[in-house]
Structure 1
């Protein structure tokens, strides 16, 4: 069995002076990652490798993930093509992964991650918000055996759902108190 985690970077600063590549995580993005990590504690996740776009916001997201999972940050592999890659290019990249890896993180950008999630599974995703993690499981022994639309959804956690849950809980508390 193999697992692929598609991870969209956290929210980045909007800076018209900096290039898109140089944009860093903003305060909201950093806080969103903390909330996301609390939710991810519900799953048994053991990354063998983290692959990331080298853009500042994805690299920082990858480093925060590595720290959270006690993964050696020096072993994160930054792949230049992940910055501009489309879904098919990332799919080809995954098919070339080492057989030794069982759980891989791909930290990247939209729309490629949304499209890749749909290519690897039978999902039809409305969106792939910042601070999202889509986990798919494949009944294969080697990534060269990867087939389109064969992934089984394990979970899709994203900050929009976590925020709406919190709002729902706050609303329920207000109803109970009122």
Structure 2
């Protein structure tokens, strides 16, 4: 079995000084949420084998913070193709991964994640707030077998569900 973790980047700082959308940083709330979500995976013992992140600053920083605070011993790959990709491109990125990787975390953006979730699980659209995580389980042995409509939604976790318990971070 393979599993995908869609991890939407943390809340960004719209008031920061940046020239391009790609360079927009995380807000303080976004940093805190990334820490909490990283720790959440550590606590439930579901550490990804591989992290593939958009190169957008807010996504890359979310991945780095979650990896550090969650003590994930996972390789982090930055992939510019995730920024503004289509669901077909995201499917292609995943289908090219090493079959030794069973649990892959993709750190990226809306609305692509909600659209991808809807298509991969053949379900209704789910709005994903910033820093939300979605685990999707797949009945395949190899990533190249990945197809829309074959995933099973395992869980969705939003940072607001965890934040009251992690106020000292």
TM-score band by shorter chain is 0.7 to 0.9
| Distance in 2, Cα, partners of 1:41 & 1:125 | 28
**CA apart distance, 1:96:** 1.2
Corresponding residue for 2:150?
150
Q: Distance in 2 between matches of 1:126 and 1:107?
A: 17
Q: CA deviation at 1:125?
A: 2.9
Distance in 2 (CA, whole Å) between partners of 1:143 and 1:33 is 27
- How many residues in Structure 1 have an aligned counterpart in Structure 2? 162
Greater per-residue helix proportion = 1
**Partner in structure 2 of residue 120 of structure 1:** 120
User: How much has 1:17 moved relative to structure 2?
Assistant: 4.6
Unaligned runs of 5+ residues in structure 1 are 167-178
Q: Tell me what 2:73 maps to.
A: 71
Instruction: Give structure 2 stretches of 5+ with no counterpart.
Output: 165-169
Q: CA deviation at 1:41?
A: 4.3
What secondary structure is seen at the aligned counterpart in 2 of 1:149? coil
Query: What is aligned with 1:92?
Result: 92
Give the structure 1 partner of residue 167 of structure 2.
Answer: none
Q: Provide the TM-score with structure 2 as the length reference.
A: 0.86
C-alpha distance in 2 between matches for 1:69 and 1:138 = 25
TM-score scaled by length of structure 1: 0.82
Bigger Rg, which one:
1
